[in-house]
Each structure stands twice: as C-alpha cells, then as structure tokens.
Amino acid sequence: MTLEVELGELAVDIAREAGELARTRRQQGVRLAATKSTLADIVTEADREVEALIRERLRTARPSDGFLGEESGAEAGDSGITWVVDPIDGTVNYAYGIPAYNVSIAAVRGEPDPRTWEALAAAVHAPAVGETFRAARGHGAWLDGTRLAVTEVTAAGALLATGFGYDPATHDGDLATVRRVMPIARDLRRMGSAALDLAYVAAGRLDGYFERGLQPWDIAAGSLLVTEAGGAVTRTDAEAARPLLIAGGVQVHARLVKILVEKNPD
C-alpha cells in the first residue's frame, strides 16, 4: 500500500466518524459558540468538538504529523506531512439545518500553504446525505466505490458554482465577478460549501467553480479531488487578501481563467 493510499484510508475513516458526530449534534440542536471575522462568520460548539475529535484521532494514528485546523489553528510536526482540516465546511448551512455540510480532511506534504504544498490524500464526507468523496495522489478520485471524472464543456453552457464571503463589503465585487462569467454559464449554483462545490466538480455534478477568499482548509481536500478526477485548479492572487480559486474540467477551467484572470472574455 502506498503512503498516499494509507493516508487516504485514514482520512476517510476519521471523516466518517467525525461526520456522524456532527450529524448527531445537529439533531440535538446546534449552539453558537462564537463569531470570528464578522457577525456572519460563525463557529458552533459542534465545529470545535468535531475538530477536537479529528485532531485526537490523527494524533493517535500519526503523532509526528503536523496539523492545521480551522478552529484550533496550527501545530507543526516533524514527519513532513500536515493534515489540513475543516471540521464542518458549510458551517452556516449546518447552523440553519441545510444538509449541505461536510467534514473535509486532507494530508499534504510540506508546509500547509496552498502555494507550495503537495496534496497527497483527501476525504470529503457529507453525513447528511451519506456520501464520502476520496482521493489519493496518483490513484484517482472516488465517490464511495465509483471512480470520478470531471465534465467537458458543452454547447448548453457550463453549470457553475460560486460562494460569497462573510464580509458584506465584498459582495458587490463578487457579484461583478458572477456577471462576468454568466455569458458562458447555463446556470449558477450557490451551495455554501467550498469542499462540496469542489467535490461536485470532481464528480461531474458541476462543470466549474470559482470563489474568492477561501481558506486553506476550505480547499485542501476538494482541490485534490478535482485534479485526481482529471480537472484543473488554479489559485490566483495568492498574495492578495482574497485569492481567487478556479476549478473545473480542463476546458471550463481554461475559459474561467481567460475571463477572470486574463480579463479576456472572447
């Protein structure tokens, strides 16, 4: 068994256990623990509890690895492997009872920096619908037992997804970005979970996805799903406050890059 497959199996096992905890806490009632960057940027007690479970399971299984979690921060390891974790991606959906939330766990080689890391393994588990998306570098991307493949461009236009940040001051600019891509779109989906958007691109349920301002834990696992499913992922403006992530099948990704990065709609 390769290291990538071993890390992937561990990620899936822990994501499923953590997902069941999140689903149980959702049924029992969600309690707000705090707000972060804005009033809309919330963290629930379940976010913190689920991340603590994931961190403990990883520490037990691989004590020398590093960790970067949305809620508990970073801890360096000395194995060269770092786990990048979003315990509940789609937190606002989770708080409202919308079943579009997931546990996102990725193992990367190198620093937990999307500009430099090498993603090795990924698991995105959606407990409300019972789906587990997984990938191991060089071994493809899978939904449960089915191998995943991204779509190619169609004459009907691309089914795209995006997301908006928690700061209302950024919404006008994000809407301007949406206006620029709609000429190549058949429609737009707004699911509120970056990891799920990326998993759906990998599964061919979306043709492309773009969003500004995502954090490393939002994109680590889903980006590997897309590339292992034959797609492409670009993160531009990496030095900016709100880097732009673009993902899709190779053709749709290229068209989005031309429009959003090269500013060339033709």
> Which range, of 1-9, 82-90, 126-134, 141-149, touches ligand LIP by CB under 6 A?
82-90
Task: Return the number of other C-beta atoms located less than 10 Å from residue 183's C-beta.
Answer: 9
Q: In this complex, which beta carbon is closest to ligand LIP, that of residue 21 or of residue 153?
A: 21
Strand partners, 73: 69
Note whether 89 binds ligand LIP by CB under 6 A: yes
Could you give the CA distance from residue 49 to residue 41 in angstroms, rounded to a whole number? 18
Note whether 69 binds ligand LIP by CB under 6 A: no
Q: How far is the CB of 41 from ligand LIP (least distance, A)?
A: 7
Q: In this complex, which beta carbon is closest to ligand LIP, that of residue 153 or of residue 194?
A: 194
Q: In this complex, which beta carbon is closest to ligand LIP, that of residue 122 or of residue 153?
A: 122
Note whether 227 binds ligand LIP by CB under 6 A: no
Q: How far apart are the first and last CA of the chain?
A: 46
Write down the residue that tokens 């509120």 correspond to.
Answer: 192
Q: In this complex, which beta carbon is closest to ligand LIP, that of residue 139 or of residue 242?
A: 242
Q: How far is the CB of 238 from ligand LIP (least distance, A)?
A: 17
Q: How far is CA 147 from CA 78, 95, 144, 153, in A?
A: 33, 32, 8, 20
Q: Which of residues 177-216 bind ligand LIP (CB under 6 A)?
A: 192-194, 211, 214
Q: Which of residues 110-129 bind ligand LIP (CB under 6 A)?
A: none
Contacts of 228 (CB under 8 A, 6+ apart): 122, 135, 136, 137, 138, 139, 140, 141, 148, 202
Q: Which of 165, 243, 248, 249 binds ligand LIP (CB under 6 A)?
A: 165
Burial class (CB in 10 A: 0-12, 13-18, 19+), 190: exposed
Could you give the CA distance from residue 111 to residue 198 in angstroms, rounded to a whole number? 22
Residues that bind ligand LIP (CB under 6 A): 70, 86, 89-91, 163-166, 192-194, 211, 214, 218
